């Protein structure tokens, strides 16, 4: 089948964006290795500019605008990190950026988007169609629409994260990647299977929104209502027409984790590694923390996708879980 993404696009994207992005570190934790009986390499995109891998795809897309498109500017819809990524990339390139965001997006993400110079337009994610709003704005203002995941230039940019990881650590038995709409997973899976065909690629979704898993199993894109999960970066309703075929071809399986497991993984990363992760970024880490024999004695790459969470919210999530797990007092 003809895919809209080729490996060379990811190589080109990486060269194009290299001087704009951070080369993020690869972290290791002895405790994590002991718990999982594996050698785990964590690609820390929480340390990427604006706090998530999404800056890679945004840069790659905007850098390919024509002069006329650059003059008019960009519009997008996003629950947060893509919004910040587009706003920052647009500012770097001296472009206008209009961002359609859900009213209930984390305040820190809305503020950050405005802070990067984005013009924010809010909508109700449970009743309004963000894609329609984005398209209408594009038409009215002559803006070029860059969606958060379903665009070959975005997918190619996100794939550069896995390319860097493999350049640093060499071959892996497993690559585990958070899955929302599949921009990150499609790009990373293509890199993994091109460089190391024996590497098993796993996408991880929140349990409450396993549309990707169902799509993968059924062979056609499953649409769901906006899932209720703390993983706000993966509250997507469906995979994309560009991302799905790549995922079908290059991903081995899709797993899910619960919100409780995400909080436990956030707690682990902060407590043991002094690394602050947002819930969505913990999808892969939470899977490894299940300590399944699958990964024993294997070399495992895990993508930590971002660290944008309000610290008060972070503390609340940890505290709620602690309180629930306290033994109830006997009178």
**Residues identified as active-site:** 54, 79, 205, 209, 211, 305
* Six token digits for residue 159: 């794939």
Smallest gap from Cβ 243 to ligand PLP, in A, equals: 7
Residue list 7-66, contact with ligand PLP (CB under 6 A): 52, 54
First to last CA, the chain: 66
Q: Which of 280, 288, 300, 301 binds ligand PLP (CB under 6 A)?
A: 280
Beta-bridge partner residues of 300: 40, 174
Q: Which is nearer to ligand PLP, 73 or 159 (CB)?
A: 159
Residue identified by tokens 């910040």 is 84
Q: Which is nearer to ligand PLP, 73 or 206 (CB)?
A: 206
Smallest gap from Cβ 186 to ligand PLP, in A, equals: 8
147 binds ligand PLP (CB under 6 A): no
182 binds ligand PLP (CB under 6 A): yes
DSSP label at residue 50: G
81 binds ligand PLP (CB under 6 A): yes
178 binds ligand PLP (CB under 6 A): yes
301 binds ligand PLP (CB under 6 A): no
The CA-atom distances, in angstroms, between 134 and each of 26, 121, 141, 239, 305 are 36, 10, 11, 18, 25
DSSP label at residue 52: B
Q: How far apart are CA 138 and CA 38, in angstroms?
A: 48
| Number of neighbouring beta carbons within 10 Å of residue 118 | 26
Cβ–Cβ under 8 Å, residues 99 and 69: no
Q: 213: phi > 0 → left, psi -120 to 50 → alpha, else beta; which?
A: alpha
Q: Which is nearer to ligand PLP, 172 or 278 (CB)?
A: 278
Sheet holding 174-178, edge to edge: 26-27, 39-44, 299-304, 174-178, 200-206, 253-257
Number of residues that bind ligand PLP (CB under 6 A): 22
Q: Of the ranges 7-15, 62-70, 181-189, 313-321, which one interacts with ligand PLP (CB under 6 A)?
A: 181-189
Q: How far apart are CA 92 and CA 122, in angstroms?
A: 24
Smallest gap from Cβ 234 to ligand PLP, in A, equals: 5
202 binds ligand PLP (CB under 6 A): no
Smallest gap from Cβ 193 to ligand PLP, in A, equals: 17
209 binds ligand PLP (CB under 6 A): no
Which residues make up the interface to ligand PLP (CB under 6 A)?
52, 54, 81, 148-149, 158, 178-185, 233-234, 236, 278, 280-281, 305-306
């Amino acid at each position: 089948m003809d895919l809209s993404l080729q490996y060379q696009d990811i190589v080109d994207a990486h060269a194009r964006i290299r001087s704009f992005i951070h080369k993020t570190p690869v972290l290791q934790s002895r405790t994590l290795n002991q718990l999982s009986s594996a050698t785990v390499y964590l690609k820390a995109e929480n340390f990427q500019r604006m706090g998530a891998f999404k800056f890679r795809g945004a840069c790659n897309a905007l850098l390919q605008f024509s002069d006329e498109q650059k003059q008019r500017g960009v519009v997008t819809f996003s629950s947060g990190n893509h919004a910040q990524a587009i706003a920052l990339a647009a500012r770097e390139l001296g472009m206008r950026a209009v961002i359609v965001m859900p009213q209930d997006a984390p305040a820190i993400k809305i503020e950050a988007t405005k802070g990067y110079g984005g013009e924010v337009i809010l909508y109700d994610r449970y009743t309004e169609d963000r894609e329609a709003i984005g398209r209408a704005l594009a038409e009215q203002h002559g803006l070029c629409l860059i969606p958060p995941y379903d665009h070959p230039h975005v997918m190619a940019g996100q794939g550069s994260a896995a390319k860097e990881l493999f350049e640093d650590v060499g071959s892996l038995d497993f690559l585990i990647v958070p899955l929302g709409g599949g921009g990150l997973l499609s790009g990373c899976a293509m890199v993994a299977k091109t460089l190391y065909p024996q590497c098993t690629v796993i996408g991880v979704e929140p349990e409450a929104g396993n549309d990707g898993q169902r799509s993968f199993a059924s062979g056609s894109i499953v649409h769901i209502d906006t899932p209720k999960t703390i993983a706000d970066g993966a509250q997507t309703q469906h995979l994309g027409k560009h991302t799905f075929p790549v995922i079908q071809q290059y991903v081995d399986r899709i797993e899910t984790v619960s919100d409780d497991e995400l909080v436990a993984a956030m707690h682990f990363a902060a407590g043991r590694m002094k690394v602050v992760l947002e819930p969505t970024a913990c999808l892969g880490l939470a899977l490894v923390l299940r300590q399944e024999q699958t990964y024993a004695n294997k070399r495992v790459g895990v993508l930590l996708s971002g660290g944008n969470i309000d610290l008060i919210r972070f503390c609340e999530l940890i505290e709620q879980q602690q309180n629930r797990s306290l033994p109830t007092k006997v009178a």
